Amino acid sequence: MGSEEKPVDAVEEKRKEGGKKKNKEGSRDGGQAELNPWPEYINTRLEMYNKLKAEHDSLLAEKAEKDSKPIKVTLPDGKQVDAESWKTTSYQIACGISQGLADNTVIAKVHKVVWDLDHPLEKDCTLELLKFEEEEAQEVYWHSSVHVMGEAMERVYGGCLCYGPQIENGFYYNMYLEEGGVSSNDFSSLETSCKKIIKEKQAFERLEVKKETLLDMFKYNKFKCRILNEKVNIPTTTVYRCGPLIDLCRGPHVRHTGKIKALKIHKNSSTYWEGKADMETLQRIYGISFPDSKMLKEWEKFQEEAKN
């Protein structure tokens, strides 16, 4: 792994910072600044996750030791690459071809299914390495950006994240706030938080967890509990972590937050839970992101022309 690729985990230091009272003072542009300290549920959730992750990593290491065997990975041109099950990752294979290819790959496609680049391969398979230009890669890129923005929203508002999909042109995240709302004046503060998160290159980690454990992990958030109770009909489901954010998600994602090179928050609105007018009012924030700042400038120019 090159130095450009190395994620930095700055969460533990941040958790030790801050006074006893939450600071909700405005930022210099009149918007809302980050809370200091962060909401307590972030610490509690992270402590639970860290224990589960340690157990998972131990089991995975044991599986790699016991069950690993030689496998063949077939590339789109028909070339076959030797690998080891439960050890070799798509990212390692990409690096073996060229570092430039590895750096520009957004997501892997293993046996026609999108797959985290750092998820070990399990058996003989076909492998495609998708760049941002491809639609499935854009969907993953924007969904990963949702998590970056969601982390910033927790750090600024301290509310309850609900759900945040990628959409045809970018992404949004819905959040429930007990009091107050979102203002366009807050966009600058949110973007500043997003830039910090991106700079830290927080690794996206995938973890499969029992449903009842997740109901305990997310007990502070009735909306996540609703999703678990109403949408998850299997004993386990997956969460992803980046930095202090742990979120229900099928994935896959980019390798780390540093892959999101240019991000803009450009719109907000109010909505209802699942679009039902008799349910809670939620705050929705929209964003867009690209692997190149020039692409963001082109997008902004296009939006301006469309308005005119």
Q: For residues 243 and 106, state if they share a domain.
A: no
Q: For residues 44 and 72, state if they share a domain.
A: no
Domain residue limits at 265: 10-53+136-307
Domain boundary among 116, 131, 146: 131
96-112 residue pLDDT tens: 999 999 999 999 999 99
Q: For residues 158 and 284, state if they share a domain.
A: yes
Q: For residues 106 and 242, state if they share a domain.
A: no
Q: What is the model's pLDDT at position 29? A: 58
Its pTM stands at 0.90
- pLDDT reading at 308 higher than 90: no
Q: For residues 159 and 289, state if they share a domain.
A: yes
Task: Give the DSSP per-residue string, 171-213.
Answer: EEEEEE-SS----GGGHHHHHHHHHHHHHTTPBPEEEEEEHHH
- pLDDT reading at 20 higher than 50: no
Residue 4 lies in a domain: no
Distance, in Å, from the CA atom of 59 to the CA atom of 207, rounded to the nearest integer, reads: 12
Going by pLDDT thresholds of 50, 70 and 90, the confidence category of residue 26 is: low
Output the six-digit token pair for 175: 């959040």
Sheet arrangement for strand 80-84: 80-84, 70-74, 125-130, 107-110, 113-115
Distance, in Å, from the CA atom of 254 to the CA atom of 201, rounded to the nearest integer, reads: 11
Q: With pLDDT > 90 as the criterion, what percentage of the chain qualifies?
A: 85
Residue 62 lies in a domain: no
Distance, in Å, from the CA atom of 293 to the CA atom of 220, rounded to the nearest integer, reads: 37
Distance, in Å, from the CA atom of 98 to the CA atom of 117, rounded to the nearest integer, reads: 15
Residue 240 lies in a domain: yes
- CATH number of the structural domain spanning residue 111: 3.10.20.30
Output the six-digit token pair for 212: 């009842």
Q: What is the model's pLDDT at position 275? A: 87
- CATH number of the structural domain spanning residue 283: 3.30.980.10
Distance, in Å, from the CA atom of 32 to the CA atom of 25, rounded to the nearest integer, reads: 6
Give me the number of domains the chain comprises: 2
Q: What is the model's pLDDT at position 7? A: 43
Q: With pLDDT > 70 as the criterion, what percentage of the chain qualifies?
A: 90
Q: For residues 112 and 146, state if they share a domain.
A: no
**Which residues are CB-neighbours of 13 under 8 A, at least 6 positions away?**
none
Q: For residues 84 and 198, state if they share a domain.
A: no
- pLDDT reading at 2 higher than 90: no
Q: For residues 44 and 187, state if they share a domain.
A: yes
**Average pLDDT in the 166-177 region?**
94
**Cα within 13 Å of Cα(238), Cβ side:** 12
Distance, in Å, from the CA atom of 304 to the CA atom of 308, rounded to the nearest integer, reads: 6
Going by pLDDT thresholds of 50, 70 and 90, the confidence category of residue 25 is: very low
